[in-house]
Structure 1
């Protein structure tokens, strides 16, 4: 009986490890693909060339997407073989180094795989191998990718935030999540508009941009998944965590150039906390930090 209870979460955990390996590719390549597209559009605009026209011999370049080319060591160009790409195990077997040049591989690769596996196992343990459990697995995977992409590049790609928003609305409409459709739609609208208003108030007051439009879309997506009632707890927790991390980075002189700390990872952290413990638990935790 006890084995049966953990069989499905264990299967989900293995699938999470495999998807986590793919998320590492997404985290690394999707921003580069976006930058390449922007550069291509800028060059086409400057040269008055149709960017959607078929490539010519002078404009055609090597294909670069999530599937092509195969993963390589960024230091020596060694093509990663299949047995060097087994989640977590290959990293341990290689002792965290490239098999060709022995340059250290970032520990973040197995950490992303383990984090995704843990989230998948939790979702299936909580909701089973059901549409609800699978929906929250997809939610978790999207947030993991967004958090690391935003931390690295300060970008929150529309290719992830917008499908995440629509998935929340569809999950609500299909009753896969315990959020009424009206609350989901209202949450999406209120999430976007609230940060949009904060953005413009800050810009008018200081002349600077305090956040990007990707943050609006991510908060809208969280509103779609949790409903409008969860927006205040989520923004409170993400703000408190962001402030604490920002202060810590400043104390240890680890702030990036311009002193900017992306807000997306903290929204992600609050969103995952809301998934695991519930939005009300978030609010109680934040209030307890202030002795309320």
Structure 2
């Protein structure tokens, strides 16, 4: 019996493996969440410099998802392999840099843990098969996009557009819905929020959401079909309202400071991916 056959026959072993992979992917997501906004900003600066025909700001070294190696932002100590084991290294180091003893943000092990937790739930729901591979990839993309949007109020095309096409590709084989529903879902997802955006701007003169939200909902429509869109929009609005009211009442959040909508769309989309058919068909 080979490894794949063993994992297919042993659900508990399959979930353990997915959990471990989820921790590793969570460590990579920390890199994406930190570096992708910087990479996009530098690309924008280069484009602006090209349009203005001026020299771009000097960059001392290449900067992407693999270069330079991860290092402490305070003392520039390069993170070793043993210092980069998901969650365990943070506990072993007591949440501090081994070189300068500066505290490490608990966000890093938290994202690793959430990545593993969501991956295990997704794997438990779909079971061993092709569908779980796409669902796991979408889960991790939604997690990274949510945190980036929460911190920077930006949803990057480099995540939403490839996963929109990936959703259409998966549904060519009917993994999550039929291809017609997928295509209509992508179009309706974009146009529905696009229409709301322009109506809101027409009547108030303000921008209620960004174009990234349109693309995110189009991506979710491509994965789950147009039938899921009403549930996703309703659920994301409910989650957003609860979070917004909580922030205002308990944290004193300034009502004039916008709260990004992307994380709520992502949460509602993930719920719909796993339990949407059950929830929206409930009498």
Instruction: Say whether 1:115 aligns with 2:114.
Output: yes
Q: Distance in 2 between matches of 1:136 and 1:100?
A: 39
Query: Secondary structure of 2:65's match?
Result: coil
Q: Is the 8 A contact 2:237 2:264 kept in 1?
A: yes
Shift of 1:5: 2.1
Report the equivalent of 1:240: 238
| Contact 1:195–1:215, Cα closer than 8 Å, also in 2 | yes
Q: Which moved further from structure 2: 256-265 or 4-13?
A: 256-265
d(CA) in 2 for partners of 1:254, 1:103: 30
Q: Deviations over 1:242-273 (max 9, x none)?
A: 11111111223453794110000001111111
> How many residues were matched structurally?
277
User: Is 1:18–2:33 an aligned residue pair?
Assistant: no
Structure 1 residue 228: Cα displacement: 0.7
Q: Which residue of 2 aligns with 1:259?
A: 257
- Give yes or no for contact 2:157–2:212 (8 Å, CA) kept in 1: yes
SS across alignment from 2:69: coil
Residue 163 of structure 1 pairs with residue 142 of structure 2: no
Runs of 4+ in 1 over 4 A off after TM superposition: 58-61
Q: Counterpart of 1:278 in 2: which secondary structure? A: helix
Please give the TM-score of this superposition, normalised by the length of structure 1.
0.88
The 2-side partners of 1:150 and 1:271 are apart by 15
CA displacement, residues 188-245 of structure 1 (integer Å, 9 cap, x when unaligned): 1000000000010111111111111100000011111111111111111111111111
Greater shift after overlay, 167-176 or 23-32?
Answer: 167-176
Is this contact kept in 2: 1:168–1:224, CA < 8 A? yes
SS in 2 for 1:72: coil
Structure 1: distance between partners of 2:278 and 2:208: 28
CA contact (8 A) 1:187 1:220 kept: yes
- TM-superposed deviation, 1:100: 1.9
3-state SS in 2 of match to 1:183: helix
C-alpha root-mean-square deviation of aligned residues, in Å? 2.3
> Which residue does the alignment assign to 2:10?
4
Does the residue aligned with 2:10 lie in a helix, a strand or coil? Answer: helix
Gaps of 5+ in 1: 52-57, 288-292
Q: Residues of 2 paired with 1:231 and 1:74: CA distance?
A: 41
CA distance in 2, matches of 1:174, 1:229: 18
Relative to the length of structure 2, the TM-score reads 0.91
Question: Structure 1: how far apart are the matches of 2:78 and 2:63?
Answer: 15
What is the match of residue 32 of structure 1?
A: 38
Tell me, in whole angstroms, the C-alpha distance in 1 between the residues paired with 2:262 and 2:134: 21
Cα gap change, 1:279 to 1:271, in 2 (>3 Å): farther
| Alignment correspondent of 2:3 | none
Unaligned runs of 5+ in 2: 1-5
